[in-house]
Amino acid sequence: MALKSTIFKAELTVSDLDRHHFATHSLTLARHPSETDERMMVRLLAFALNADAALEFGRGLSSEAEPDLVKKDLTGAIELWIDVGLPDEREIRKAAGRARRVKVYTYGGRSAALWWTQNEAALQRLDNVSVIDIPEVAIEALRAERNMQMDCTIQEGGLWLSQNGETLHFEPVVLKPFSL
């Protein structure tokens, strides 16, 4: 018998002063049986950092060549493709050909640094790809709960995340910005 995804609910209030996006998003996250809590929480952070009414969770781990988050325009063209973790460089190139912009959110400290060292040269040639690293301190502080309520404020590249009365501040590290 196949294992089923675990469902998490999140009420995410985003105040993005950099992009002028202010909204509360009621989200349902399906954590694939092979997905860790850390990876799921990075998906949630990626949503917060790119929050938009058209942004939605993709099939991610459960389907090859699918984004973890995707934003499409009204014609169905992919405006933003978001991958989380340490994806294969070939998959990022494919995504860059299919989407207007691609963002990769890495995490994992030393393993993410090693991945970046191995893939930096190839990814630097892709103008529509951005790579952002989430610091380990942020990953360690996030707690996955079946029903979460989080407030996220983004200003000048910094992120303040409040959960259960505790506030975490960190700055995602942009390893490679868009070159467009």
Quick: pLDDT tens for 25-55: 999 999 988 899 999 999 999 999 999 999 9
Q: Is residue 111 part of a domain?
A: yes
Q: Is residue 119 part of a domain?
A: yes
Q: Is residue 71 part of a domain?
A: yes
Say if residue 64's pLDDT is above 90.
Answer: no
Q: Is residue 1 part of a domain?
A: no
Say if residue 1's pLDDT is above 90.
Answer: no
Which structure tokens are listed for 138? 């942020």
* Residue 61 confidence (pLDDT): 61
The set of residues, in sequence order, having a beta carbon less than 8 Å from that of 62 and lying 6+ positions away, is: 5, 32
Quick: pLDDT tens for 127-174: 999 999 999 999 999 999 999 999 999 999 999 999 999 999 999 999
Q: What is the CATH number of the domain that holds 149?
A: 3.10.640.10
* Residue 63 confidence (pLDDT): 64
Say if residue 115's pLDDT is above 70.
Answer: yes
* Residue 60 confidence (pLDDT): 62
Say if residue 59's pLDDT is above 90.
Answer: no
Total domains in the fold of the chain: 1
pTM for the model: 0.94
Residue-number span of the structural domain to which 68 is assigned: 6-176
- List the one residue out of 179, 42, 61 whose CA is nearest residue 124: 179
Q: Is residue 43 part of a domain?
A: yes
CA atoms within 13 A of residue 64's CA, in its CB half-sphere? 4
Higher-pLDDT residue of 4 and 138 is 138
